[in-house]
Amino acid sequence: MNNKRHILFLSVLVSVTLPFLPLLLWSFSERWFYPALLPQSFGLRGWSYIFGTVNSQILQALISSFFLAATSTLISLAVGVPAGRALGLYEFPGKRFVLLTFILPVIVPPLAVAMGLHLWFIRLGLAETFWGVVLVHLTFCLPYTIFVMRGTFSDYSPEFEDQARTLGASRLQVLSRVTIPMIMPGIVVAALFSFLLSWSQYLSTLIIGGGRMLTLPIMLFSLMGSGDRPVAAAVSLIFVIPAFIALLASAHSLGRAGLQGVR
């Protein structure tokens, strides 16, 4: 039994970590010609190209990727938490239709939506702008947030709020002392979901951003095209950082059930 357990653990460990090996090796290599198994010389050129260059485009892409994902997440939470609450707590006529409207953007890829919105956004002056890209990211970040919050609120008892109110708590106190602490795990998962979705988005950013909004995935594609492997590998590793923070945060605050279902 113990033996089987070890084999299982090792196979999971190796298959999960293997893809990170070439990224690490390439990001720290200076010279690595075929067919050498390991780089002929190690160095920090890949990393210093990102962080050392003045006005580094990659650094700017990192910053705009972060603000894009953070903004999409905050708006999704602000609009999605009340909606998720209503869908989790109440039954009402037309609920199935509302749920269908929210599930479609999760299933249908953003490709056709972004292409459709593009012309309209050009007219509205939203194309090639930060807010235009935020709006297109909302089409999938918001529904995901709503579904996570709906799940959270379906095992939530609003009686606690009544009790607090009976004890004389104001509306704001009920919200900050009762409701938010109780739904915090759901909010964390929803925020991570939505941040990662926006963070990894490539095509819809490219279509609406029109090459003006340089995000990390867009930089990564152009680096792969130019063939600078050490820099591309280093950017790939930076690109994974939020994923790892999300993982650690969820392991810390949510226990083992953590991120199940995050895509």
Partner 1 sequence: MKHSQSFRIKGKAGVPCGLLQLTAAIGPAFVIILILFGGGLSLGLMQALGHLPGASLHSVSLTHFTNVLTDPDFAGSIRLTFYVSFVSTVIAAAVSVVLALAIIRCAEESRLVHFFLQIPLTVPHLVIAVSILLLLSPSGLAARLLAAVGLLQSTSSFPMLVNDRFCIGIMLVYIWKEIPFITFMLLAVLKNLGPELLETAATLKASKMQRFRYVILPIIWPSLAGAGLIVFAFTFGAFEVPFLLGRSYPLTMPVWSYKNYSDIDLLARPEGIAIGLIISIIIIAAVIVSHLLTQYGRRRGLL
Residues 23-42, interacting with partner 1 (CB under 8 A):
23, 25-26, 34-37
Question: Which position among 68, 146, 187, 214 is part of the footprint of partner 1 (CB under 8 A)?
Answer: 146
Question: Which position among 50, 188, 191, 220 is part of the footprint of partner 1 (CB under 8 A)?
Answer: 220
Question: Which tokens go with 218?
Answer: 């867009």
Q: 149 — phi, psi (to 5°)?
A: -70, -35
Supply the DSSP symbol for 53: S
CB of 173 to partner 1, least distance (A): 19
Question: Which tokens go with 8?
Answer: 């299982």
Restricting to residues 109-138, name those near partner 1 by CB under 8 A. Answer: 109, 111-117, 119-120, 123, 135-136, 138
CB of 6 to partner 1, least distance (A): 9
End-to-end CA distance of the chain: 32
Q: Which of 7, 63 has the CB closer to partner 1?
A: 7
Q: Mask of contacts with partner 1, 166-205, x by CB under 8 A?
A: --------------------------x---x--xx-xx--
The region of 40-48, 56-64, 141-149, 180-188 touching partner 1 under the rule CB under 8 A is 141-149
Which SS3 state, helix, strand or coil, does residue 32 take?
coil
Q: How far apart are CA 49 and CA 110, in angstroms?
A: 33
Question: Other C-beta atoms within 10 Å of 140: how many?
Answer: 22
Q: Which of 54, 139 has the CB closer to partner 1?
A: 139
Restricting to residues 37-66, name those near partner 1 by CB under 8 A. Answer: 37
Supply the DSSP symbol for 106: H
Supply the DSSP symbol for 30: E
CB of 47 to partner 1, least distance (A): 16
The reply on whether position 100 binds partner 1 by CB under 8 A is no
The reply on whether position 258 binds partner 1 by CB under 8 A is yes
Q: Which of 59, 249 has the CB closer to partner 1?
A: 249
Q: Whose structure tokens read 């708006």?
A: 75
Amino acid sitting at position 225:
G
Question: Other C-beta atoms within 10 Å of 75: how many?
Answer: 18
Going 113 to 116 to 122 to 125, the CA torsion angle's sign is: negative
CB of 93 to partner 1, least distance (A): 6
Please give the size of the binding site for partner 1, defined by CB under 8 A.
93
The reply on whether position 91 binds partner 1 by CB under 8 A is yes
Cis amide leading into 35 (omega within 30) = yes
